[in-house]
A and B are shown apart, each in its own frame.
Chain A
Amino acid sequence: MQQPDQRDEVEMLALMLLIRRFEERASQQYQAQKIGGFCHLYIGQEAVVAGAVAATRPDDYMITAYRDHGHALARGTSADACMAELFGKETGCSRGLGGSMHFFDKGNHMYGGHAIVGAHVPLAAGMAFASKYRNEDRVTLCFFGDGAINQGAFHEALNLIALYKLPVVLICENNLFAMGTSVKRSTSLKQIVDRAEGYDIPGDIIDGMNFREVRDKLSEIVGSIRKEPHPAFVEIRTYRYRGHSMSDPASYRTKDELEKYRLDDPIIRLRAQLTREGKLTNEQFDQIDKEAKEKALASVKFAENSGELAVEEVYEYVYAKGAQ
């Protein structure tokens, strides 16, 4: 098994670029009405999931909320399968039956894609319960937004996770807004991480625009969990550049605020670090970015050329056939 800290930073930069270019294409295709329903973009938050996969093993469980495209890509789901899912095609990662908010990829240990805010945190508890039950040293990464921390399911799950000492990293991607409601208007706490204290779960704050900080702090936490199962909570401070979903002009925040975060862009930041250290040339960066753009564009072609399930097949996904 590859050690997390040896995972190539250039490779992680390439992942972040792939997520960004994929999301830009998704945005364009949504506007062209090729994608239906809701579509929540991850642009600006790429270092969070990239740092998380750099700190963990591919067989660790990952589960997240509805802003899930980046998580699937980070887990190794192909851009083709992701875009095809947005297009509702049978080649999609959920066969076109889940859509943007419900990306699943069992082979890559991506357990969704869950669209009821907070409702997947109990599922994460169950996945971690199962790995502890089987004496595995697997860690469950449970991502959620700042909007989830005021849901009952979240609180019940945190208590269970702490009570049963389950190996879960609770990752709050704090992008400051639950749809249009800022954390200040939704949450009684001064800082989100203090939610963990109420359940006796160790908590930490991480700069989500800094890939290395995310990776290093999560590596430390995950290492500790593997030795002895326990939960941990991290508030990763990040920012989404786009609105909550495609239909949101994000008029609840100022241009100045957005610009401030854009200047702190996680991709630019990692690129600068690598360039300064002589690990990446401008030509190499351009090449990586070109490849990311090509993959994103190719995924659109792939999705366009893919077929859809026959309508009668809808009955095949109601009950599993088997029984023991």
Chain B
Amino acid sequence: MREITYRQALNEALAEELERDPNVFLMGEEVAEYQGAYKVSQGLLERFGPKRIIDTPISENGFAGLGVGAAMVGLRPIIEFMTFSFSLVAFDQVVNNAPNLLMMSGGQFNIPITFRGPNGPAHQLGATHSHATENLYASVPGLKVCTPATPRDAKGLLKTAVRDDNPVLVLEAELLYSSKGLVEPPDEELLIPLGQAEVKREGSDVSIICYAQTVPLALTVAAQLEEQDISAEVIDLRSIKPLDEETIFNSVARTHRVLIVEQGRPFCGVGAEICYRIQKNIFDELDAPIVRVSQEDVPMPYNERLEKFVLPNADKLMAAVKKVCYA
């Protein structure tokens, strides 16, 4: 193992998959000559050439659809959205074409495509650039959605996504691109299956279920809770769809108390679905009503103080844990 950044991990995943399979190509805005808006594709143009690392005009609907069409006839496109906020312009292709073709064609056309890019609120980008899109896409049958929070997960999940025969969205954490973590050396194949959550920290008093940018936040809060003699278990979902119910239920069966932290908004959010599944399947294990921390249900304000108020933060998590633990 060596320490690399989340950005480097994604770059390695792309390079390894491009190297492995000539049918894989990377397309998006500024991915080639500019080396990626967030430098995730740094060096790939030089290494793989303009045939496989392709700059596009600002036409998300157009190039997302181009990817779907190329996937229909056997290529394995990786389509980068500069941010998933911009994927909303391509919603028709991602939601209405990519996941529907298998059903509509009676099984003749599966779409092996990866849509990837940063997702979730970053810092003072305003309402249009701060979307956490995971609940929108996870609600669509035929799509798979993963949300890596560490460099290791970023590499392993992206590589798995590229090899999957279905449309997979890799929602990268914009605020974590420069974060560091331990990852296997490049000569060791790293594939992390979709649909496997990971216990990032073990604990016995409360299960904190989180994903993406809320994982480091939850880990920080869990460390603080330890000083107050509350042992928090932190579960990183890693993949929203398919969802790893088993890991969630096993944890809840031990702690009997649950806090769900999501980077998105509360209404019809990821946390709402998990809440439903826990009460449906293991209601008797719960010692307290499940609590959720989400964004406030408002478009994202630009003002820094107001933005902080809208987002999940350590104080909110701490208060929620104390509430669910009756502490």
Contact = CB atoms under 8 A, between A and B. Distances in A.
A324 B160 CA distance: 9
B93 A323 contact: no
A156 B105 contact: no
Nearest to A324: B163
Interface centre among A98, A120, A121, A159 (most CB of B within 10 A): A98
A153 interface: yes
A151 to B, nearest CB: 9
A112 B279 CA distance: 43
A126 B68 contact: yes
B97 interface: yes
Nearest to A92: B106
Contacts of B66: 122-123, 125-126, 129, 157, 160
A11 B62 CA distance: 38
A113 interface: yes
Interface stretch (B51-59, B263-271, B283-291): B51-59
Contacts of B71: 126
A95 to B, nearest CB: 3
Contact of B68 (A94, A106, A123, A323): A123
Given A116-B92, A125-B62, A323-B165, A95 B107 contact: yes
Interface stretch (B72-80, B215-223, B224-232, B307-315): B72-80
Contacts of A323: 160, 163-165
Contact of B57 (A153, A159, A316): A159
**Chain A interface residue bracket vs B:** 35 or more
Contacts of B69: 63, 122-130
B65 A319 contact: no
Nearest to A136: B73
Contacts of B75: 126, 129-130, 133
A152 interface: yes
Given A160-B56, A321-B165, A122 B62 contact: yes
B304 interface: no
Contact of A318 (B65, B72, B142, B165): B142
Contacts of A157: 62, 65-66
A61 B74 CA distance: 13
Interface string A299-324: 00000000000000000111111111
B166 A320 contact: yes
A93 B106 contact: yes
Given A318-B141, A319-B142, A122 B65 contact: yes
B135 to A, nearest CB: 19
B32 interface: no
B28 interface: no
Given A119-B93, A126-B70, A323-B163, A98 B65 contact: no
B96 interface: yes
A21 interface: no
Nearest to A93: B106
B65 A123 contact: yes
Nearest to A156: B62
A97 interface: yes
A153 B25 contact: no
A24 B61 CA distance: 37
Nearest to A113: B104
Nearest to A85: B106
B110 interface: yes
Contacts of B67: 126
A69 B255 CA distance: 59
B204 to A, nearest CB: 36
Interface in B86-116: 92-93, 96-97, 101-110, 112
Contact of A153 (B21, B65, B74, B165): B65
B64 interface: yes
B81 interface: no
A96 B104 CA distance: 8
A49 to B, nearest CB: 20
Given A119-B93, A163-B57, A130 B105 contact: no
A94 B70 contact: no
A133 B103 contact: no
A322 B160 CA distance: 12
Nearest to A97: B106
A82 B106 CA distance: 13
B63 interface: yes
Interface of B: 21, 25, 51, 56-57, 59, 61-75, 77, 92-93, 96-97, 101-110, 112, 141-142, 144, 160, 163-166
Given A122-B64, A133-B25, 4 more contacts: A112-B101, A119-B92, A123-B65, A126-B69
By Cβ-Cβ distance, the 9 closest A-B pairs, closest first, are: A126-B69, A122-B65, A156-B62, A95-B106, A320-B110, A123-B69, A104-B105, A126-B70, A156-B59
